[in-house]
Amino acid sequence: MSYRFGKHPPKVDYRTLRFRSYVAAGIAPPPPSINTLARVYDALHVSDPTVLFPMDGNDTLGDCTIAALAHTVTTFRGMLGHKTIPTVQTVKKLYFHLTGGVDSGLNEADVLTYWRQHAVANDKILGYVSIDPKNHTHVQQAIQLFGAVYIGFQVQQNAIADFDAHKPWTPGTLTNDGHAVVAVAYDQTGVTVLTWGNTQQGTWAWWDECVDEAYAILPPEAAQPGFAPGFNIAQLQADLAAVAS
C-alpha cells in the first residue's frame, strides 16, 4: 500500500478567527479522555474505521486535505446517527476543482474557507476557528464540544512505517512533507486521528513536535440554540459576517 501527503505550509491570515476568542473563561476543564468514534460507532452500529473512513484516493493523490474534510463529514453525521460517507469520486472532484486540475496538494485554510462557502456532500459548515496547537486544553475542549479537530502537521520521517506497524506516532526527524488528518479522540497519552483509511494514534510529544495548525469546525447544527455550551457561537457568527463583508 502506498500513501501520499499533500498539505501545504500553514497560511497566515489575520482575518482567521481564533478559538480562544469564543470559549468562555469559566468553562469547565475538558475530561481526561474523549472518544468521538465510540459515539459514532454506537450510533451507526458500525465499528470498522476502514468502512467509515476510506482511503479517498490518498494512496495515489496528495488530496489529504479533502480526505480529511470527508472524514469530518462522516464524523459529524455519524454523531447524529446518519451514515454519510462521501464517495472517492466526490473527494477527487473537489480536490481537482480546488487545485485547478493538477495534483499539487492544498492549503488547509483555503479548503475550510471553501467549505464554509459551499456545501460538500450536502454539508456546509457554519464556520471554523483556529486553535493554538500548543494549547492542549483548547484542543481537547474543541474535540469535546464539536467532536473533531481538523489538523495539519509536518511529517516525521517514520510516519508511514509506524502507521503500517500500528505504532503510535512519536517525534522524529522532520521531512519537507505536510499531511492533513482529523483528530477524533484524546487521552492523557495522546490523540487518535483518521488518515489513510484507518485510525492512527500519536503521542502528545509527537503533537507538539509536528502539528503546525489545528481548526475547530462548526457543523450546521452549531446554529441551534444550546449547541456547544461555553462557546459563544452567536458572537462567532457576527464576526464571520463582519469578516465576509
pLDDT per position as a tens digit, 161-176 = 999 999 999 999 999 9
167 in a domain, yes or no?
yes
170 in a domain, yes or no?
yes
DSSP letters of 59-126?
TTSS-HHHHHHHHHHHHHHHHTT------HHHHHHHHHHHHTSS---B-HHHHHHHHHHS-BTTB--S
Q: What is the CATH number of the domain that holds 227?
A: 3.90.70.10
6 in a domain, yes or no?
no
Residue 1 in this model has a pLDDT that exceeds 80: no
Query: 57: which 3 cell numbers?
Result: 484516493
Could you tell me the pLDDT band of residue 243, with boundaries at 50, 70 and 90? confident
4 in a domain, yes or no?
no
Q: Which domain holds residue 70?
A: 19-244
97 in a domain, yes or no?
yes
- Cα four-point dihedral sign 164, 168, 170, 176: positive
Share of the chain above pLDDT 90, in %: 92
Q: Which residue has the cell 469578516?
A: 243
Tens-place pLDDT, residues 24-76: 988 999 999 999 999 999 999 999 999 999 999 999 999 999 999 999 999 99
10 in a domain, yes or no?
no
The number of folded domains in the chain is 1
The residues pairing with 186 across neighbouring beta strands, listed in sequence order, are 34, 191
pLDDT score of 26: 87
Average pLDDT on 101-117 reads: 97
5 in a domain, yes or no?
no
| Nearest of 154, 156, 159, 214 to residue 179 by alpha carbon | 154
Instruction: Yes or no: say if 108 and 150 are a contact pair by the CB < 8 Å rule.
Output: yes
Rg, Å, the chain Cα set: 17
164 in a domain, yes or no?
yes
